[in-house]
Amino acid sequence: MSDLVEPTDPTPSPPQAVPATISQRIDSLDVLRGFAVLGIFVMNIQTFAMFSHTYFNPTHYGMWDGVDYYVWYLSHVLADQKFMTIFSLLFGAGIVLFTSRKEEIGKSARAFHYRRMGWLIAFGLFHGYLIWEGDILFLYGVCGLWVYLLRNVRPSRLLVVGLLVLAIGSGLAMMSGLSSPYWPEESRESFIQDSWQPPPESLAEATSAYGNGTFWEQVKHRAPLTLVWQTFVLFFWGVWRAGGLMLVGMALYKLGVVSAGRSIKTYASMIALGALAGIPVVIYGIQEKFAHDWEPFYSFFVATQYNYWASLLVSGAYIGAVMLVCKTDALRHLVRPFAAAGRMAFSNYIAQSLVGSFIFYGTGLGYYNEIGRVGQIVIVVSVWIVQLIVSPIWLKHFRFGPLEWVWRSLTYKQRQSFRI
């Protein structure tokens, strides 16, 4: 994330807004961001490799037996919504960090922040329509427009408001699931065919577009899906989930939680809470889906609420573990590659999308619907290794990742220094 710092030029010229230098970054935030950008690919790869509805209904289309089943199970328990949660928390923390450094030099952060969010929305549109419909940048940019207004609220209130905003999204899903028996039959059938169990002709159309189609055939198929994600899903789920988490992230940053500023006991408690309460609740949610035979409306709207809330605890456990490592001098060298990956999180995120589209889409290798969940994890781990190796090497020669540099230059309306 771009940060603002006071310039070191001793001349009496007015303070100028510039990106943070390497020494002024908070290492724990970079490490945590790097951990999150790698982890999120565990879930994102599924919607490159297979029909997107299998993300919610893995029982409908293959790759569900033997080891593939256990890969799905562990991915759901340990990854689904957990890394998106961490990213959202860090995005909120980044807004506070970005704006506070600007305000420290007596400047208003508003213009910089909204220009920054505007360009992020533009990147999200590009990513969503031309590369992958699962884009998260557009959502973050939209949420960033309104959570900014609450950045100066004290931490206790931010936590309460953030949880209330999260509860709105949860409540909407619960009401949808509980009211589903009273939906018009055509609406129920439309939901099942669009989101839960598409008919064979829809699956064939997706395979033709992604597995064998040209780039523009993929764009044509992707466009309506992206539009739904960036409109209906955004207002039904996204602004409440991501926005609420950003507010919580602002509070956690102010409280020193995500900057390794709390005690070892605090972080150990977070790990224990995630392991002893968070994970069991997520597992119980899976059992509920099986107990209801994966009934579409209960599974999609109601049973998902176990993971919706418990993912906060599991994410908290991850944060606690990362912070403990950052606070332990003997272990800090182990996370330096993660810090580098975190400083290039934007570039690494888009690079993962490019890798996914190249491997699975017809414009590349065309393995759409041909690689099971085990194979997907092999690809994920391979990408992790490459990004953990390449990111530190890149940052030895350049101040920013390539997309971070573009974003900063656009935010500040001037070309930023790139090479070290």
Query: Is residue 384 in some structural domain?
Result: yes
Torsion on CA atoms 139, 140, 146, 148, rounded to nearest 10: 180
Mean pLDDT of 217-243: 96
Q: Residue 290 belongs to what domain range?
A: 27-412
pLDDT digits (tens, 9 = 90+) for 250-297: 999 999 999 999 999 999 999 999 999 999 999 999 999 999 999 999
Does the structure show a pLDDT above 70 at 23?
no
> What is the full DSSP assignment across 240-260?
HHHHHHHHHHHHHHHTTTTTT
Does the structure show a pLDDT above 90 at 366?
yes
pLDDT digits (tens, 9 = 90+) for 203-225: 999 999 999 999 999 999 999 99
Q: What percent of the chain has pLDDT over 90?
A: 85
pLDDT of residue 314: 98
Query: Is residue 1 in some structural domain?
Result: no
Query: Is residue 275 in some structural domain?
Result: yes
Query: Is residue 249 in some structural domain?
Result: yes
How many structural domains compose the chain? 1
Residue 381 makes CB contacts below 8 A (sequence gap 6+) with none
pLDDT digits (tens, 9 = 90+) for 286-295: 999 999 999 9
Does the structure show a pLDDT above 50 at 244?
yes
Does the structure show a pLDDT above 90 at 19?
no
Beta strands 4-5; 18-19: pairing state: antiparallel
Query: Is residue 419 in some structural domain?
Result: no
Does the structure show a pLDDT above 90 at 17?
no
pLDDT digits (tens, 9 = 90+) for 57-116: 998 876 678 899 999 999 999 999 999 999 999 999 999 998 888 777 767 889 999 999
Backbone Cα Rg of the chain: 21
pLDDT of residue 43: 96
| Structure tokens that stand for 340 in this block | 């580098």
Residue 74 makes CB contacts below 8 A (sequence gap 6+) with none
DSSP single-letter state for residue 399:
S
Torsion on CA atoms 261, 262, 268, 270, rounded to nearest 10: -90
- In terms of pTM, does the model score above 0.85? yes
Please tell me the distance from the alpha carbon of residue 299 to that of residue 193, in angstroms, as a whole number: 15
Query: Is residue 156 in some structural domain?
Result: yes
Query: Is residue 287 in some structural domain?
Result: yes
H helix intervals, 255-360: 264-273, 279-291, 296-297, 304-327, 336-343, 345-360
Query: Is residue 245 in some structural domain?
Result: yes
Does the structure show a pLDDT above 90 at 325?
yes
Count other C-beta atoms under 10 Å from residue 34's C-beta.
26
pLDDT of residue 26: 63
Cα angle 75, 77, 79 (rounded to 5 degrees) comes to 50
Mean pLDDT estimate for the chain: 91
Please tell me the distance from the alpha carbon of residue 25 to that of residue 343, in angstroms, as a whole number: 9
